[in-house]
Amino acid sequence: MLRVGQNTRRAGLIAASVLGAGAALLLVAMAVLPFLVPAAELRRVAAQALAGSTGQKVEILGEPSIRLFPSPRVVLGKVSFPLPAGQSLDAENVVTRLDLLQLVAGRVAVNDVIVEHPTLVLTGEGMAPALGIAPVLAATDRPELRIVDGTIAWRSGSGLTRELVSGITASLDRVLDRAGIAVAIQFDWREQPVNATLFIDDITAFMAGTPAPMRVTVATDGAKARFHGRAALGKSPTMDGAVTADADSLRDLFDWAGMEAPTRSGFGPFSLASRLKLEKGEVALTEASVDLDGNRGDGGLLVKVSGPRPLIQGTFAADHITLAPYGAMRLTGGDRQGWDRGAVDLSALGACDLDLRLSAARVDVGDTALSTVAASAVLSAGRLVLAIGEAHGWGGVLRASLTLAPAPPDAATLQAHRSAGAELRLEAEATDVELARALDDIGGFRRIDGTGTLQVDVTGAGRSIQDIAANLQGSAGLTAANGYLNGFDVAQLLQRIERRPLSATSDWRGGRTAFTEISGRIAISDGVGTVEELAMRGPRAQIEMTGSLSIAQRALDLAGHAALPATKGAKTGAIDLPFSVRGPWDEPSIMADPLSLIERSGAALPLLEAVKGRTTAPAAERAMDGGASVADPQQPPAN
């Protein structure tokens, strides 16, 4: 059992008496302080502290009062901070908390200033607030500052006020023996909470332009950015350190910030880790690692903001990039039966200038896989040039350059505030590629199998892909070897015609024709391609064609000759038959020339001669009685 001696009890009683007396004296002092310190002095010191902590001139609109409990403080009531015309800053209440020890000694010193419910109103003529923040940060002897439930609003010329930022709670504390500052702020913007912190170890050096250690964090729901390094303000801000950023959905972040994502899909999970350097108005991200939608690349970026538009330059390398999150590379509509008629809007190209270089071991574009890709994107004054220096795809090598620019709007477009569309130029060459895959991926054309080379040089303009196709100008060429022409079997049809000419008057669709080589050259004007050369040579048949194709309507209007060389043991020699190809290029109608078939038919020849006036009427009547009464001499008689 613990026993407390008489001396110990006596010491405890003495200590309690001293503390009680001290507390009593303190209460008495606090009670008489309002009479010892003049109210005018309290008002002056509080106003001076408020002006020092905010950097603004102050007008006290209420009647100040001093309160001692739970701590001594001066309540100023409503105050106003005079700002230039078009702006205003008012607070419903301001409290300055006093240093108790200094107050007991007969001096008035302010520990911190609390600004409650301040409202900053901006106008279209003064969107940048005219607040004197710099002196507050630079002075180490100023009181600390607290802001409670602040608001920033914007007032239009008609007097309509719209809230921009609300729920602002902030604090500015002096740390590291008052050599540094710690700033914490929380607010609501566009219905999302935002939290930010700032630590500067040496605020005097920072404000004077000497780099000082700095740490910054900005976070909102699903996104966060951090900087840790050295920074300085001075005449030209500088930063040098590590920066990281991540977002659950970059598209949601764009939407929240009021920005439009470059594509209609994709831009999901995002992360960045890099070294950041800001100097002379240029931001450099080096040793950067970027991950967007699972696509990871390493490289660097340089951002210049000193020109008429921001300039972004960069080089990145990646092992594997998939463009599937951003939609398929299709120029056709949803049914793939016609060109896309959706409006093309390139107005966003004027936001900045761009010069990016990309190399990737593999790039997946829909069902197409490109390897060893070296590409670039150059955007200048709204004109975008996308170039593939070299890529391996469709079994061959691809080189291409696509130039896009907003088309000049006409009067109707300006009046309707709609997109003016686009101007484009495409120069491309695909060498030794699998034509079936290449033509299907590019334009939904599935008629040629084989290995060949495509060359395209076209220009066009319009509000949609359909309009651009209707205005297309330029040329295209094709050479191929060892493949098939899908849709009809020329050799089989010609052999049938050799046996029974009239049996080939129906549609020729079906089967395929082998070729050893095929070549074609098309001149394009106003969306219509004129076939200057189109020839196919194969082991069993040869084809030569002329005519035109409508690129806008995706339709063919061609005429040609199909030839079947004479073979040993055949009763007849070589066959040369005219034919036509008309209709949509996905499913064209292929028909033999009727006159040529009649000339080859012994049964129908009298009818033809009658029409020409070279036979007697009875012969013509017998020919017109039909196949039941006129036997084809090529066929044996029925039993």
pLDDT tens digits, 74-89: 888 898 888 776 788 8
pLDDT at residue 128, rounded to an integer: 60
How far is residue 43's CA from residue 64's CA, in Å, rounded to a whole number?
A: 7
Nearest to 81 by CA among 141, 132, 5, 138: 132
How far is residue 585's CA from residue 481's CA, in Å, rounded to a whole number?
A: 21
User: Which is higher by pLDDT, 41 or 460?
Assistant: 460
- Do 130 and 84 contact (CB within 8 A), yes or no? yes
Placement of tokens 């801000």 in the chain:
237
- Do 450 and 437 contact (CB within 8 A), yes or no? no
pLDDT at residue 188, rounded to an integer: 94
- Residue 29 CB contacts under 8 Å (≥ 6 apart), including other chains: 104
| DSSP H or E stretch at residue 18 | helix 6-36
Q: How confident is the model at residue 374 (pLDDT cuts 50, 70, 90)?
A: very high
Q: Could you give the dihedral angle defined by the CA atoms of residues 138, 142, 148 and 151, in that order, rounded to the nearest 10 degrees?
A: -40
Q: Which of 44-58, 456-470, 599-613 is predicted least confidently? A: 599-613
How far is residue 452's CA from residue 458's CA, in Å, rounded to a whole number?
A: 20
pLDDT at residue 598, rounded to an integer: 59
Q: Would you give the distance in Å from CA 235 to the centre of its chain?
A: 35
Phi and psi dihedrals of 542, rounded to 5?
Answer: -130, 145
> Strands 212-220, 223-232: parallel, antiparallel or unpaired by DSSP?
antiparallel
What average pLDDT does this structure show over 409-426?
62
pLDDT at residue 501, rounded to an integer: 58
What average pLDDT does this structure show over 8-35?
54
| DSSP H or E stretch at residue 470 | helix 465-470
Categorise residue 9: left if φ over 0, alpha if ψ from -120 to 50, beta otherwise. alpha
Q: Could you give the dihedral angle defined by the CA atoms of residues 573, 574, 579 and 581, in that order, rounded to the nearest 10 degrees?
A: 140
Provide the token pair at 328. 């398929």
DSSP for 367-394, written as a single string: TEEEEEEEEEEEEETTEEEEEEEEEEET
How far is residue 572's CA from residue 563's CA, in Å, rounded to a whole number?
A: 13
Entry field: residues in the chain: 639
Is 184 exposed, middle or buried (CB count within 10 Å of its CB: 0-12, 13-18, 19+)? middle
DSSP for 263-311, written as a single string: SSS---SEEEEEEEEEETTEEEEEEEEEEETTEEEEEEEEEE-SSSS-E
How far is residue 104's CA from residue 67's CA, in Å, rounded to a whole number?
A: 14
How far is residue 380's CA from residue 552's CA, in Å, rounded to a whole number?
A: 30
pLDDT at residue 631, rounded to an integer: 40
For the four alpha carbons of 609, 614, 615 and 617, in that order, the dihedral sign comes to positive
How many CB atoms within 10 Å of residue 301? Answer: 19
Question: Tens of pLDDT along 520-577?
Answer: 999 999 999 999 988 988 888 888 989 999 988 889 999 988 887 765 555 545 677 7
Question: Tens of pLDDT along 145-186?
Answer: 899 999 999 888 777 788 889 999 999 898 988 889 999 999
Provide the token pair at 344. 């093309």
What SS3 state is found at 395? coil
User: Which is higher by pLDDT, 218 or 9?
Assistant: 218
pLDDT for residue 461 is more than 50: yes
What average pLDDT does this structure show over 241-254?
94
Rg of the chain, C-alpha, whole Å: 42
pLDDT for residue 413 is more than 50: no
pLDDT at residue 87, rounded to an integer: 81
> Strands 238-247, 223-232: parallel, antiparallel or unpaired by DSSP?
antiparallel
What average pLDDT does this structure show over 242-267?
87
How far is residue 128's CA from residue 130's CA, in Å, rounded to a whole number?
A: 6
Provide the token pair at 338. 């016609």
How far is residue 160's CA from residue 154's CA, in Å, rounded to a whole number?
A: 8
Placement of tokens 């935002």 in the chain:
194
pLDDT at residue 639, rounded to an integer: 36
- Residue 48 CB contacts under 8 Å (≥ 6 apart), including other chains: none
Provide the token pair at 466. 């359909």
Provide the token pair at 632. 């084809």
Provide the token pair at 566. 């004479």
SS3 for 351-366 is CCEEEEEEEEEEEEEC
This prediction has a pTM of 0.70
DSSP for 34-89, written as a single string: HHHS-HHHHHHHHHHHHHHHHSS--EE-S--EEE-SSS-EEEEEEEEE--STT-EE
Q: Would you give the distance in Å from CA 96 to the centre of its chain?
A: 50
Phi and psi dihedrals of 8, rounded to 5?
Answer: -65, -40
What average pLDDT does this structure show over 128-148?
69
Is 635 exposed, middle or buried (CB count within 10 Å of its CB: 0-12, 13-18, 19+)? exposed
- Do 96 and 76 contact (CB within 8 A), yes or no? yes
DSSP state at residue 407: P
How far is residue 266's CA from residue 428's CA, in Å, rounded to a whole number?
A: 27
What SS3 state is found at 325? helix
Question: Tens of pLDDT along 316-372?
Answer: 999 999 988 886 555 665 555 678 787 877 777 777 889 999 999 999 887 788 899
How far is residue 334's CA from residue 78's CA, in Å, rounded to a whole number?
A: 63
- Do 91 and 59 contact (CB within 8 A), yes or no? no
* Mean pLDDT, rounded, of the chain: 79
Nearest to 243 by CA among 261, 218, 267, 206: 218
